[in-house]
Amino acid sequence: MVRGRTTKSLSYEILIFVPLPFLFYVTIKGMDKIIKTISENGAFRAYVLDSTETVRTAQEKHQTLASSTVALGRTLIASQILAANEKGDTKITVKVLGTSSLGAIITVADTKGTVKGYVQNSGVDIKKTATGEVLVGPFVGNGEFLVITDYGTGNPYHSMTPLVSGEIGEDLAFYLTESQQTPSAIGLNVLLDTNDKVKVAGGFLLQVLPGAKEEEITRFEKRIQEMPAISTLLESENHIEALLSAIYGNEPYKRLSEEELRFQCDCSKERFLNALSSLPKSDLEEMRDEDHGAEITCQFCQSTYHFDEKDLEELIRDKS
């Protein structure tokens, strides 16, 4: 069955120049984005993300319940952060291989701002009775945080660290510190409304750059320790600006770029047809004769592709 398709409103700002005295600004809200910044002294860099539509689209495509939504959303944001550090046509795959109820969480992001992903068990919905807080870590469990970096050369690079909490943000920070030897502060979360639909999602990355002085590091560490909770910052009217203010305080910084983010799967009927062509001839004949076709659903976006007897017959002929 093909699930309902999400309709997203794009968001960008258009500045239209016309002969004076007319000047119009058109703003369409709803676009996810990542803003890359660097402190003016060159000692730190920070990324801040609004990933609300990305996670909302994932929830709608996979029909995830509360804990599954938050866990998948945090992993999608983690992938977006890692991909933002790459160049060219690099793709980043994050696999959260936990041992508890949620099962594996797998996401893939690229340098163009697109990300896709799924959680093995979409139906986990556990909250604290007293507060209603959505629980994630215990239902990710122990396991591994695996990152696969594919530079397009045919030899992807694998790097893995143990899960330290299952909360995803802490696991990403540990991965960056241990695997990439880059001291990092991470904050990311997904907040749900009273109907358990995505209300807001986003996060930040702060990294120490080579040459940072000890007193500068100490000052930023103190600021990060005193920051409001990431959930509080995301609740702000403009959480992107709230995150930047919390990170830098009165420290001067430069905005390097602002780039669009979105959930987008690259699956296609042609791609799955190629996958079917790799099956043995006997399997294809069985599908044709017994099932009178084949149906494949993409794990990443739940799109379903139908192949009739004619499609299978062509594949069988190619193998003859």
pLDDT of residue 122 exceeding 90: yes
Same domain, 195 and 299: no
**What token pair was written down for 85?**
């550090």
pLDDT of residue 99 exceeding 70: yes
Helix (H, G, I), strand (E, B) or coil at 93: strand
Window from 3-17, 179-193, 201-215, 297-311 with minimum mean pLDDT:
3-17
Q: What is the DSSP string of 126-150?
A: -B-TTT-PBP-HHHH-SEEEEEEEE
Distance CA 1, CA 306 (A): 10
pTM over cut 0.85: yes
Distance from the first to the final alpha carbon of the chain: 32
Higher per-residue pLDDT: 130 or 290: 290
Same domain, 132 and 148: yes
Q: Residue 203: pLDDT band by 50, 70, 90 thresholds?
A: very high
Helix (H, G, I), strand (E, B) or coil at 112: coil
Domain boundary among 240, 261, 282: 261
Left if phi > 0, otherwise alpha if psi is -120 to 50, otherwise beta: which for 159?
beta
Same domain, 127 and 58: yes
Residue type, 164: V
Distance CA 140, CA 105 (A): 9
Higher per-residue pLDDT: 96 or 25: 96
The pLDDT value given to residue 30: 62
The pLDDT value given to residue 18: 36
pLDDT of residue 14 exceeding 80: no
The pLDDT value given to residue 154: 87
CATH number at residue 279: 3.90.1280.10
CB 59 within 8 Å of CB 74 = no
User: Does residue 194 sit within a domain?
Assistant: yes
Q: Is 48 exposed, middle or buried (CB count within 10 Å of its CB: 0-12, 13-18, 19+)?
A: buried
pLDDT of residue 245 exceeding 90: yes
3-state secondary structure 247-269: HHCCCCEEEEEEEEEEECCCCCH
CB-side exposure of 97: number of CA atoms within 13 Å? 12
Distance CA 285, CA 271 (A): 20
* Contacting residues for 133 by C-beta, under 8 A, at least 6 apart: 127
Percentage of the chain exceeding pLDDT 90: 79
User: Does residue 124 sit within a domain?
Assistant: yes
Same domain, 162 and 306: no
pLDDT of residue 9 exceeding 80: no
Cα-based torsion angle of the residue sequence 298, 303, 307, 312 in order, rounded to the nearest 10 degrees = -20
The pLDDT value given to residue 35: 97
**What token pair was written down for 81?**
């952060």
For the chain, the domain total comes to: 2
Rg over CA atoms, the chain: 22
Which of 71-80, 246-255, 271-280 shows the highest mean pLDDT? 71-80
133-182 pLDDT, tens digit each: 899 999 999 999 999 999 988 899 999 999 999 999 999 999 999 988 88
275-315 pLDDT, tens digit each: 999 999 999 999 999 999 999 999 999 999 999 999 999 99
30-76 pLDDT, tens digit each: 689 999 999 999 999 999 999 999 999 999 999 999 999 999 999 99
Same domain, 239 and 277: no
Q: What angle do CA 114, 118, 120 make, to 5 degrees?
A: 165
Residue type, 106: I
3-state secondary structure 191-220: EECCCCCEEEEEEEEEEECCCCCHHHHHHH
pLDDT of residue 4 exceeding 60: no
Range of the domain at 147: 31-261
CB 37 within 8 Å of CB 254 = yes
pLDDT of residue 19 exceeding 80: no
Q: Residue 7: pLDDT band by 50, 70, 90 thresholds?
A: very low
Same domain, 249 and 280: no
User: Does residue 187 sit within a domain?
Assistant: yes
Same domain, 82 and 134: yes
